[in-house]
């Protein structure tokens, strides 16, 4: 497929996802109606693979706007895509926040170590180049929040921790320094997640081995091993989550606090794993409050 054909296909995908509903493993989530005057979502590629793209959502107007980078979940597997982040991106845009909803190579479709990590890093770094250009210079890159759900919470918090990576290691030297990160039920301690078998062995599939066999990858890829992150990290987690246990956020908080990092945990009583990505659910309102508070 040519680059022009790829962009045309992504534009159609973005337009379709920006209206109607998107499917989650437990049901459908309605995409909010965009405010009048909202520009069409703009797909942009950051590499040649069909999964190396993001969709830029801009609020109406011409003035500068803060940015939320939206990273979807799905245990890093190819069965799930950035449409899961579309309802959140549209809702944030309706509140005056630009949203850069990113896709990445996932396990089963060219992802895993290190491709999934380098993709997320490249997508975030693109904010300083083609994404800013497509936004007409409107993006206030001094006010960027990383927002991710589940495996996306892992990737967002990892991306906020890239300053901790050694020179020469995978995806070191970030171009964007976030003012903070919000992890929605994030998988934040990969060693514990692998030992617990979360996602049916999803962590082992992502990193290509266990903590005993590829310890270096866990050291470079687990947010809990890379504390403190750049800017504060807010973990938002429902106590009824049976997909990613609350223990994951608690472990990260303990590690970040021990490293004198700025982190806190907001527990949502009775909320399951997917309430935090449904704009119609009070759990999303709590998440959005944290995003706007960081901005």
Averaged pLDDT in 10-residue chunks for the chain of 295 residues: 44 50 86 96 98 98 97 96 97 98 97 98 98 98 98 98 89 95 98 98 98 98 97 98 98 98 98 97 98 98
Q: Whole-prediction pTM value?
A: 0.94
Closest by Cα among 34, 76, 41, 72 to 56: 41
Q: Is the distance from CB of 218 to CB of 154 less than 8 angstroms?
A: no
φ, ψ at 38 (rounded to 5°): -70, 130
* Spatial CA neighbour of 163 closest among 150, 176, 151, 154: 176
- Say what the pLDDT of residue 169 is: 82
197: its two tokens: 């078998």
Tokens of 109: 């479709």
Q: Would you state the pLDDT for residue 24?
A: 84
What Rg value do the Cα atoms of the chain yield, rounded?
17
């Amino acid at each position: 497929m040519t680059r022009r054909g790829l962009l045309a296909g992504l534009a159609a995908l973005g337009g379709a996802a920006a209206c109607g509903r998107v499917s989650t493993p437990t049901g459908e989530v309605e995409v909010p109606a965009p405010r009048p005057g909202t520009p069409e979502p703009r797909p942009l590629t950051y590499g040649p693979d069909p999964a190396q793209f993001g969709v830029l959502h801009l609020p109406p107007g011409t003035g500068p706007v803060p940015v939320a980078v939206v990273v979807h979940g799905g245990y890093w597997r190819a069965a799930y895509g950035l449409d899961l982040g579309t309802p959140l991106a549209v809702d944030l845009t309706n509140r005056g926040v630009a949203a850069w909803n990113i896709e990445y190579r996932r396990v089963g479709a060219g992802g895993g170590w290190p491709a999934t990590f380098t993709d997320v890093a490249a997508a975030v770094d693109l904010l300083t180049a083609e994404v800013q250009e497509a936004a007409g210079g409107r993006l206030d890159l001094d006010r960027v929040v990383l927002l991710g759900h589940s495996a996306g919470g892992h990737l967002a918090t990892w991306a906020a921790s890239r300053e901790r990576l050694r020179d020469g290691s995978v995806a070191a030297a970030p171009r964007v320094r976030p003012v903070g990160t919000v992890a929605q039920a994030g998988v934040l301690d990969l060693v514990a997640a692998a030992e617990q078998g979360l996602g049916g062995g999803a962590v082992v599939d992502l990193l290509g081995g266990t903590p005993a066999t590829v310890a270096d990858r866990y050291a470079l890829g687990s947010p809990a091993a890379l504390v403190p992150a750049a800017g504060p990290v807010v973990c938002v987690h429902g106590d009824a989550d049976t997909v990613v246990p609350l223990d994951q956020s608690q472990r990260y908080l303990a590690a970040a606090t021990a490293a004198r990092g700025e982190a806190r945990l907001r527990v949502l009583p009775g909320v399951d794993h997917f309430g935090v990505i449904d704009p119609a659910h009070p759990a999303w309102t709590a998440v959005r409050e944290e995003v706007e508070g960081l901005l």
